[in-house]
Amino acid sequence: MSKVTIELIQQLRERTGVGMLDCKKALLETDGNLDAAVELLRKKGASIAAKRGSNVTAEGLVHAYIHPGSRVGVLIEINCETDFVARTDELKKFAQDVCLHIAAMKPLYLKQEQVDPTFLEGERRIFTEQLATSGKPEKIVEQIVQGKINKLFTEICLLDQPFVKNDQLTVDDALKEVIAKLGENIVIKRFSRYEIGSYI
């Protein structure tokens, strides 16, 4: 217990946003190792997200963000289980952070399942043709192409993109951390990004 000081608990709380008691438990479990405690809390967050994933999310909020200069705007809908969580500062802050992310990173889709199959097939064909003269075995070519497709997802799908507030996490990882903190199933339902001149 001597390794787990109030200062260390506070540091972990600042890094994760998780409650003091959960921070203390995580530090005790990891013998006062701050990085290991962060990782442990992340895993617990993913576990809570998995358990609550089937819960109905009929409440939530719509958040709007206009970037300074009024040339870029974002609308996002985030759903949760209760009106209580919908009104929390934590969820509002997360909505704002995701809007900032969308304004900066310009995702085209929310998740992989929504990517246009025709577009995806065209990209796969281009990647395959680029490797056609490489002399690599077909199985290796397929693996490389799949790797390129996976990288494409991290560029065009919101949930797969590295989060602008912390590029060690994806947006989906950051969402799971919020689920762990608030204890409810939370879903990014949809978003729209508007930019002056983008359709010209």
What is the spatial distance between Cα 185 and Cα 200, in angstroms, rounded to a whole number? 39
CB 52 within 8 A of CB 85: no
Report the CATH number of the 59-110+157-195 domain. Answer: 3.30.479.20
In the numeric block, the tokens 């490489």 are attached to 134
pTM score, two decimals? 0.72
Give the sheet arrangement for strand 187-195, strand by strand: 59-66, 72-80, 187-195
Over the stretch 171-194, which tens digit does the pLDDT of each residue have? Answer: 999 998 898 888 888 999 999 999
pLDDT-based confidence at 130, cuts 50/70/90?
confident
Class of domain 6-52: mainly alpha
- Residue 1's pLDDT is what? 44
Which residue, chain included where needed, has tokens 């192409």?
145
Q: Which of the following CATH numbers is that of domain 116-155: 2.40.50, 1.10.10, 1.10.8, 1.10.286?
A: 1.10.286
Poorest-confidence range of 131-140, 142-151, 170-179?
131-140
Range of lowest pLDDT (16-25, 49-58, 177-186) = 49-58
Over the range 176-197, which residues count as b (16 or more CB within 10 Å of their CB) and which as e? bbbbbbbebbbbbeebebeeee
